[in-house]
Structure 1
Amino acid sequence: MKHSRRQFLLGLSVGVGSSIVLSGTAWADAANTLSETDPKAQAVGYKEDATKVDKAKFPTYAAGQNCGNCSLFQGKATDAYSGCTLFGDKQVAARGWCDSYSTM
């Protein structure tokens, strides 16, 4: 079946609209991630990248600890970001770390 130019353009506009919605969703998720400058994050020394934890300031940190394998992390270890019971609706990086790290 041969499609007209009009059908093609209509299909294209629907595809572009979907992309805009998906981009908006991705942006909304990014806006919901926990910032290291958030007062709650600073209170527990949250770092989005566990390898950047100040080991002198947080001697309880050990290599291999990260939010993804913490018992407070609400996602799967393979999720890049997920909820944490400490931070309400904010999402933390699975590769992150804070002083409340727990394996229990």
Structure 2
Amino acid sequence: MRQKISRRTLIKGGLLAGACVPALGLLANEASAAGLTPLSPSDPTAVALGFVTNSAKVDAKKYPTHTAAQHCGTCAQFLGKPGQARGGCNIFAGHTVPATGWCSAWAQKP
């Protein structure tokens, strides 16, 4: 036999399913973060973007717009939480970067 589903039940189920989707995405991000490896300064993309593990060591002649306040921890691309020593990066997928690092793709967090 077929049971009729009320409109109210259907809407509740849809809202519940919609609320679960972002939570599943967060769980997937946590799981994938465990598989990240530290970015090597010799990585070709890192070299192309002038990546350094310590922003105090940025070549001022090559990157004259760099300031002391610019480091991965203050970058919009940094995926780590505030206060974390390392975190993922939107630019260097599959790798973590130190919060003290810097590259020429740095952009101020909003």
TM-score by length of structure 2 reads 0.64
Following superposition, the deviation at residue 77 of structure 1 comes to: 2.8
Q: In the TM superposition, what whole-angstrom CA distance separates every residue of 1:42-94 from its partner, at most 9, and x where no partner exists?
A: 01000000000001011121111100010000012311111000011100010
Alignment of 1:73 with 2:78, yes or no, is yes
Q: Which residue of 2 aligns with 1:54?
A: 59
Q: Which residue of 2 aligns with 1:39?
A: 44
Distance in 1, matches of 2:49 and 2:77, equals 13
Q: Is the 8 A contact 1:46 1:99 kept in 2?
A: yes
Q: Which residue of 1 aligns with 2:68?
A: 63
Tell me the percent identity: 40
Unpaired stretches in structure 2, ≥5 consecutive residues? 1-33
Unpaired stretches in structure 1, ≥5 consecutive residues? 1-28
Q: Which residue of 2 aligns with 1:102?
A: 107
Q: Which residue of 1 aligns with 2:28?
A: none
Distance in 2, matches of 1:41 and 1:77, equals 23
Q: Is the 8 A contact 1:47 1:53 kept in 2?
A: yes
TM-score by length of structure 1 reads 0.68
Distance in 2, matches of 1:81 and 1:49, equals 12
Q: Which residue of 1 aligns with 2:25?
A: none
Q: Give the counterpart letter for 1:45 in structure 2.
A: G
Distance in 1, matches of 2:105 and 2:71, equals 11
